[in-house]
């Protein structure tokens, strides 16, 4: 098995992220540092990541969390800030699928299934994610066209979203958006580019999984059926 796949199947990260981690000299095989993600791991090899012995966990799970505000989407934080892991009871080594920034709330998936993580985060698979945002005003037709068509959001990247609905509530606009690219802070960067102030961002769905009645800070295991449906991106 390739070393990057071994890390992914051990719940460390996706295969793409595992490539980066391996090249950072974090991984040893039989006490020797290996920098090649394609290194062939044999059945009797001892693989360690950051000094911890790894085992491939055959029991794959996915947890859905309704992420609170002011919580970091990370396995750990060097500054001692609260992370999403503080809200989970599982003892398995889980990795967030994508990210929600500290100020955002809503649906976050975590898993120890590296292959599923790879599938759901790879840009070519265009997995839809829906968000409810509260902004200062209705998005006018010219800005709607720019957002739908795609616009520069800085750092040489293009942002794009489908605006499903928008309505005024107590002097502010509540809009529902769908994105398929998963770029870092894409929603916030889109509204910054069209000069519309964004007050809150809440993710309500990822693929075919919806937040439902899950309360802020609550989590639960996805069923086998729900996990299977995650690969049906439409």
Residues with a catalytic annotation lie at: 101
Report the interhelical angle of 15-23 vs 114-121 (nearest 10°).
100
- Per-residue burial over 103-128, b = 16 or more CB atoms within 10 Å of its CB, e = otherwise: ebbbbbbbbbbbebbbbbbeeeeebe
Which DSSP category does 97 fall into?
A: E
Are 104 and 203 in contact, with CB atoms under 8 Å apart? yes
Q: Which residues are within 8 A (CB) of 42 and not within 5 positions of it... i.e. 6 or more apart? A: none
Residues paired with residue 65 on neighbouring β-strands, in sequence order: 108, 219
Are 29 and 66 in contact, with CB atoms under 8 Å apart? no
Q: Which residues are within 8 A (CB) of 29 and not within 5 positions of it... i.e. 6 or more apart? A: 3, 39, 41, 45, 46, 47
Per DSSP, the chain holds a count of helices (H) and strands (E) of 6, 15
Are 60 and 116 in contact, with CB atoms under 8 Å apart? yes
């Amino acid at each position: 098995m390739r070393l990057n796949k071994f890390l992914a199947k051990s719940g460390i990260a996706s295969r793409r992220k595992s490539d980066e981690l391996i090249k950072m000299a974090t991984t040893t095989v039989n006490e020797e540092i290996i920098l090649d993600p394609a290194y062939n791991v044999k059945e009797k090899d001892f693989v360690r990541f950051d000094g911890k012995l790894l085992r491939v966990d055959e029991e794959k799970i996915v947890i859905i969390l309704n992420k609170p505000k002011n919580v970091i989407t990370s396995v750990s934080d060097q500054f001692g800030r609260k992370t999403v892991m503080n809200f989970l009871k599982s003892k398995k080594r889980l990795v967030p699928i994508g990210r929600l920034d500290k100020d955002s709330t809503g649906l976050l998936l975590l898993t120890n299934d590296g292959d599923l993580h790879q599938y759901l985060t790879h840009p070519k698979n265009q997995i839809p994610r829906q968000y409810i945002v509260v902004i200062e005003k209705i998005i006018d037709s010219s800005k709607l066209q720019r957002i739908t068509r795609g616009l520069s959001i800085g750092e040489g990247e293009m942002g794009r979203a489908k605006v499903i609905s928008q309505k005024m509530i107590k002097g502010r606009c509540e809009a529902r958006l769908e994105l398929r690219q998963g770029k870092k802070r894409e929603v916030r960067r889109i509204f910054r580019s069209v000069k519309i102030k964004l007050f809150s961002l809440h993710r309500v769905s990822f693929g075919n999984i919806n937040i439902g009645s899950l309360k802020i800070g609550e989590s639960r295991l996805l069923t086998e059926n729900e996990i299977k449906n995650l690969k049906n991106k439409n």
